[in-house]
Amino acid sequence: MGISIVIPLISAASALGLVAGKMVVDVPRFIAYAIAMSVLWGTQALRGESFSVLSLLMLSVVHFPYVLRLNPLPDYARLLDWFVKLALVVGILGLVQFSAQFVVGPGPAFPIESYMPSQLKVALFNPFTHLQYGSPYYRANGVVMLEPSFFSQFLAVAMVVEMLTRMRWAVLATLIAAIIVSYSGTGLVLVAVAVPLILMSKGRWDVLIVGAAAVILVLVAASFADVVFVRVFFARAGEFSATGSSGFARFVGGFYLFEQFLWPDPLRTLFGFGAGTVDDFKALANVPVSGTSIFFKMVFEFGLVGATAYFGFLACCFHRSRAPGLLKFVLVLTYALGGIYIPFSHALVFGLVLWPVSADPRGSAALADETPRRPPSPEKFDKRLSEVSA
What pLDDT does 197 receive?
87
**325-343 average pLDDT score:** 86
Burial classification of residue 387, based on how many CB atoms lie within 10 Å of its CB (0-12 exposed, 13-18 middle, 19 or more buried): exposed
β-bridge mates for residue 23, sequence order:
70
214 CB-near residues (< 8 Å, 6+ apart): none
CB atoms under 10 Å from CB of 321, counted, come to: 27
Of 270 and 336, the structure prediction assigns the larger pLDDT to: 270
24 CB-near residues (< 8 Å, 6+ apart): 18, 68, 69, 71
What pLDDT does 136 receive?
84
What pLDDT does 240 receive?
55
Say if CB 70 and CB 356 are below 8 A apart.
yes
Of 232 and 102, the structure prediction assigns the larger pLDDT to: 102
C-alpha to C-alpha distance for 66 and 349, rounded to whole angstroms: 8
pLDDT digits (tens, 9 = 90+) for 172-203: 999 999 998 998 878 888 888 888 888 888 77
C-alpha to C-alpha distance for 146 and 313, rounded to whole angstroms: 28
What pLDDT does 33 receive?
96
Q: What is the mean pLDDT of the chain?
A: 81
pLDDT digits (tens, 9 = 90+) for 249-276: 666 777 778 888 888 989 889 998 988 8
Q: Say whether pLDDT at 376 is over 90.
A: no
**Residue 209 half-sphere exposure toward CB, CA atoms < 13 A:** 4
**361-372 average pLDDT score:** 40
Closest CA to 161 of 367, 303, 319, 386: 367
Residue boundaries of the structural domains of the chain: 1-72+257-366
Helix (H, G, I), strand (E, B) or coil at 138: strand
What pLDDT does 363 receive?
39
pLDDT band of residue 370 (cuts 50, 70, 90) is very low
Q: DSSP label at 286? A: S
Q: Say whether pLDDT at 311 is over 50.
A: yes
> Do β-strands 23-25 and 68-70 pair in parallel, antiparallel, or remain unpaired?
antiparallel
C-alpha to C-alpha distance for 103 and 109, rounded to whole angstroms: 9
